[in-house]
Amino acid sequence: MKQATAHSNGVPALLKKYREQIVPALMKARQYTNVHQVPTLQKIVINMGVKEGASDIKILDQLAHELGQIAGQKPVVTRAKKSISAFHLKQGMPIGLKVTLRRSKMYEFMERLISVSIPRIRDFRGYVPAGFDDQGNYSFGLKEQLIFPEVEFEKIKKTQGMDITFVTSTKDKKESKELLELFGFPFKK
pLDDT at 7 over 80: no
**Percentage of the chain with pLDDT > 90?**
1
Residue range(s) defining the domain that contains residue 108: 33-183
Calpha distance 81→104 (Å, rounded): 32
Q: Considering only residues 4 and 51, tell me which one the structure prediction assigns the higher pLDDT.
A: 51
pLDDT at 167 over 60: yes
What is the CATH number for 60? 3.30.1440.10
Average pLDDT of span 152-179: 80
Cβ burial of 1 (10 Å; 0-12, 13-18, 19+) is: exposed
| pLDDT tens-place string over residues 41-88 | 889 998 888 777 667 778 778 888 887 888 888 888 877 777 777 766
Is 5 contained in some domain?
A: no
Tell me, what DSSP letter sits at residue 91? T
Is 164 contained in some domain?
A: yes
Least confident stretch, 43-52, 62-71, 99-108, 140-149: 140-149
Is 42 contained in some domain?
A: yes
Is 92 contained in some domain?
A: yes
**Mean pLDDT for the chain?**
79
pLDDT of residue 9: 65
pLDDT band at residue 3 under the 50/70/90 scheme? very low
Q: Count the Cβ atoms, other than its own, within 10 Å of residue 147.
A: 18
Q: Could you tell me which of 44, 73, 185, 72 has the C-alpha nearest to residue 126?
A: 185
Is 8 contained in some domain?
A: no
Is 10 contained in some domain?
A: no
pLDDT at 6 over 60: no
Least confident stretch, 110-119, 136-145, 151-160: 151-160
> Which residues share a beta bridge with 157?
none
Count of structural domains, the chain: 1
Is 150 contained in some domain?
A: yes
Q: Provide the edge-to-edge strand list for the sheet that holds 138-142.
A: 76-79, 94-101, 41-49, 162-168, 138-142
pLDDT of residue 53: 65
Is 9 contained in some domain?
A: no
